[in-house]
Structure 1
Amino acid sequence: MHKNWVVILFLIFFTAFLLLPGLSKSSLWDRDETFYAEVSREMLATKNYIIPRFNEIDFLEKPPFAYWIMAGSFRLFGVGEFSARFPSALFGIGTVLLTFFLGTFLFDRRTGIFSSLILSTSLFFLIAGKSAITDIYLLFFFTGSLLFFFLGSKRKYCYLVSYGLTGLAVLTKGPIGFLLPAAIIFLYLLFNKELRQIKDIHLPAGILLFFLVVSPWYLAIMKTTGGKFFSEFICRQHLYRFFHPMQGHYGPFYYYIPVLIFGFFPWSVFLPAAVWVKSEERREKSRAYFFLIIWMAAVFLFFSVSKTKLPHYILPLFPPSCILIGKFWSKEKKPFLKLSLFFFLGISILFFLSSVSLFWLKPDFTSPFITKGVADQRSDGVFAFSLLTINFALLVGGGLLSLSFLRRKRLKRVFISLVAIIFFFISFFSLSVVPEVNKLRAIPSLAKMAAKGSPEDLVLSFRWFEPSLVFYSRHRVQRVNSLSELEKSLKTERKIFCFIQEEDYREIKDKINLTLLAKKEGLSENKGRISLLLLTN
């Protein structure tokens, strides 16, 4: 037991050193981070914790749990980047611990340690754990619900904990928080010929607990918004999203294969060898292997069939993948290890060459930017993208180092070198690369200028919109799509701030009575290079 506490404390500090540094080093990114942070800010400001609102309009795309947590963080630390992202880091640390416990329970403590270290150094997990998005919350509850279901065979009360965590998953992401864990459990019992076990999992009490967790908010929101909630949240955001691509997020059935290869990097290169298990090993731990394979397959197939696709949707298959790879590394014989390390080196070289190619493929990212009226910043992206290239060179060096250890048959050092190189990679990326790239972004610095005005000021956005305008201006942003609408909005005695792209301003500047306050050429996450102007009366 003492050894477990030592491991737990080590994992907490190790993961914290990966996730916490750099949380405030960049502005929130469009569009997910700024959407969720602004909803949480408005929730805190209005004290309305039932109806999520964005830009003072009902925002019914997601349930409220993540907003509640983020609003609580804002209350403790103030509204800002760190407080928006800090809860994600905590839930990330929690998920690493859950993976340790699950790997230990299914196999042994050695596997649990390897599994948790693998998860804490996986690329998409690190991105999610350092971002103000809901997926890391879902990952925690998803993993916890399945862990406690398995623990229920030893301690019956764990089944009730599993039901409660499933309810919190539904409060975080909607019905998917219940449907996927339930499908995994059902398929596991079905193929294991243990459906009779359902009578032992406290189903009536569990269902009651589940509804006690879920019902208060869902009943309150349906009573408050009526059919609007059902049509937007259930019909559009779940049913329609599953059967039709939304907001340009689509892809072929095999979409998640490259996503898994690059998003689960560097450990994805070991996944085929980890899944390939000799028959005698499979028989020895058949229930554990079977459970993990079903978990992975259910998540992968569900989101592959779905018409709307986003890379972070498959985060819930990371814990079972990590445990399988953790078991692979805990064994004395590791088949295909050399081949896997060559794949690691190849992908690292691909990352490196891709970063180098940006200087030729995206010259507009590195050419000079013009800034007027805001604080001086670097004039181009050469320095930022040079740092990115150096960062990927670290991966190439790590691949060569791990192969040299393998050649000398020092397998423990191979694993340690992989963990260490990702630790240094993400630290350098968070503390050096991201801040420099952030300096090139056009929107936050201009939006903060509007925030310095009065709450009564009128803030407009002409012919384009990003949610960061709302979060950083601290105002409701009125979207204006035509010159006639703009002229109508200008008939006011209030102070006006108007965000407009330079090409649109050239078209209408002789027809409006607004003066240029500031100009920022830079990058936008969704539009590439833009020239953004802030006008005022």
Structure 2
Amino acid sequence: MNDFINKKYFFLLLALSFYFFILFNWSIDLTSSDEGKNGYVVLNMIKTKDFLVPYYNCELRLEKPPLLYWCGVIGSFILGINEFSLRLVSGLSALGVLIFLGLIAKESFDKNLAWKGMLIFLTFPHVWIEARSFTPEMLLNFFSVGSIYFFLRKNPILGWIFLGFAVLTKGPVGIILPFIVILFFKLTQRNFPLFSFLGIFLFFLVGGAWYIYMFYKFGYFYFYKFFLHENIFRYTGKKLFHPQPFFYYFLIILVTSFFYIPIYFKIFSKFKHLYTMINKNYKVLLNNPLTPFVFWFLFILIFYSLSKNKLHHYILFAYPPLCVILANFVSEKYIRWIMSISGILLLVIAISGYTYEKNRFTFQAKNFLKNYKGEIYFYKNEITTLPFYLERCIPKVDNPQVLNQGFVITKKKYENLFRNCTKVISAYEFNEHFILLECKKN
């Protein structure tokens, strides 16, 4: 690594990463829904000293494994529990992905292309957003990309350990997706070991111990809730939470790599020429160092496109190979131009976000209610950030008639159901209109 990132370039990399991945991450409150839930779990762990069983809003949160929460707890012990310390986990993970991306590209190509690939990764707006989000996706990608690097470097022990941490971050996808990519690298390069008795043992220890504890504590309920409900049923569509069309991720990728759309025409032209060569000799394809990266990208794109439930951040694992592919066709001059535009664009987004924040429902409601000790309820909605900021559980009710005196948080369209309540706050939480009602007994 020393001959790749020397002292001068290392500090340049840190400076660029701080700007694109971390700076301004505190300028906007936690957002619904996962950030608020994850933040509350960290808060509850610190308060109760129970670091094994996650709780959100006084209810079990079994949808995600605990590694993100544990990282948030560590950051909060050092820096206090706030937006910066929580989101720093994702920002540092993005830096780790960036470094592993460069190291993998250097292994397959050279230092110049590796640097181009890293700079391209810095210019993806979707990466900026996820690096400033307290969600597990960027941490998952750090361990997933890291595992690929260590296997390529013939260090299967660290490779398996990183896979274990990936499983502890997000579950089965933490091994299924990166290991299939690793197998394809093995198919095309065939010069690194996969098996390691110690590595596999450590994988099960790191990635499995917490799950065994949860099985012991909650039995089949946990197995159903996490492995079936949150993984298999989500993918197959038996449970629909976030249905999107098949081409959803194609659009996400086009938007986040918008500056490189002209390069795609060059890539398609090259692949057309390569296809002609493959017809003559298929080994040309297997021997091409770009082939495993194309497979990596297409595999992740197709895998998540086939899923019935889609969220934008699932596709993050396709960005490292996409950056390597683009780096093979884009000039340094073009990248420097895009870096300048990206720096300005990020600043504009940050200023816009800070300006918008003052008008958000969460910002107004948390400041209004922070010293209130009475009853607060959610009605037919849930803003997950408020239990975190108010440091209390907020029950949900389905019948306005059973509400006691206190405050109610609901959507604007339900306002007429509350005849004995006065509207205190009316504001948008992104694309939805919420209201805070003060209700009094007759």
Normalising by structure 2, report the TM-score: 0.90
1:365-514 pair list within 5 angstroms: 412-430=332-350, 432-454=351-373, 457-486=374-403, 489-490=404-405, 496-501=406-411, 504-510=414-420
1:259-408 pair list within 5 angstroms: 259-271=252-264, 273-274=266-267, 276=270, 279=274, 283=284, 286-329=287-330
- For residues 444 and 501 of structure 1, the distance between their equivalents in structure 2, rounded to whole angstroms, comes to 16
1:144-293 pair list within 5 angstroms: 144-152=146-154, 158-190=155-187, 192=188, 194=190, 200-244=193-237, 246=239, 248-271=241-264, 273-274=266-267, 276=270, 279=274, 283=284, 286-293=287-294
Closer/same/farther in 2, CA of residues 228 and 91 from structure 1, 3 Å limit:
same
1:234-285 deviation digits (Å, cap 9, x = unpaired): 0100010010165541123222111110133333552453463565899599
Closer/same/farther in 2, CA of residues 509 and 214 from structure 1, 3 Å limit:
same
Structure 1 residue 109 displacement after superposition = 0.3
- For residues 353 and 439 of structure 2, the distance between their equivalents in structure 1, rounded to whole angstroms, comes to 29
Q: Residue 359 of structure 1 aligns with which residue?
A: none
Closer/same/farther in 2, CA of residues 535 and 13 from structure 1, 3 Å limit:
farther
Structure 1 residue 413 displacement after superposition = 3.4
Gaps of 5+ in 1: 153-157, 331-411, 491-495
Structure 1 residue 90 displacement after superposition = 0.9
The answer on 1:533 being equivalent to 2:420 is no
Give identity over the alignment, percent. 23
Normalising by structure 1, report the TM-score: 0.75
- For residues 413 and 235 of structure 2, the distance between their equivalents in structure 1, rounded to whole angstroms, comes to 37
CA contact (8 A) 1:519 1:533 kept: yes
Structure 1 residue 286 displacement after superposition = 2.8
Closer/same/farther in 2, CA of residues 498 and 440 from structure 1, 3 Å limit:
same
Q: Residue 21 of structure 1 aligns with which residue?
A: 23
- For residues 438 and 109 of structure 2, the distance between their equivalents in structure 1, rounded to whole angstroms, comes to 59
| Secondary structure in 1 matching 2:328 | helix
Closer/same/farther in 2, CA of residues 220 and 248 from structure 1, 3 Å limit:
closer
CA RMSD of aligned residues (A): 2.5
Number of equivalences: 431
CA contact (8 A) 2:400 2:417 kept: no
Closer/same/farther in 2, CA of residues 100 and 291 from structure 1, 3 Å limit:
same
Q: Residue 142 of structure 1 aligns with which residue?
A: 144
| Secondary structure in 2 matching 1:475 | coil
Specify which structure has the bigger relative contact order, considering alpha-carbon pairs within 8 angstroms and separated by 6 or more residues.
2
Q: Residue 67 of structure 1 aligns with which residue?
A: 69
Gaps of 5+ in 2: none
Structure 1 residue 499 displacement after superposition = 2.5
CA contact (8 A) 1:462 1:500 kept: yes
Closer/same/farther in 2, CA of residues 453 and 532 from structure 1, 3 Å limit:
closer
- For residues 264 and 152 of structure 2, the distance between their equivalents in structure 1, rounded to whole angstroms, comes to 23
1:44-59 pair list within 5 angstroms: 44-59=46-61
> Radius of gyration: which is bigger?
1
1:143-193 deviation digits (Å, cap 9, x = unpaired): 1111111111xxxxx211111111110000100010111222234445x49
| Secondary structure in 2 matching 1:259 | helix
- For residues 318 and 173 of structure 1, the distance between their equivalents in structure 2, rounded to whole angstroms, comes to 18
CA contact (8 A) 2:357 2:363 kept: no
| Secondary structure in 2 matching 1:329 | coil
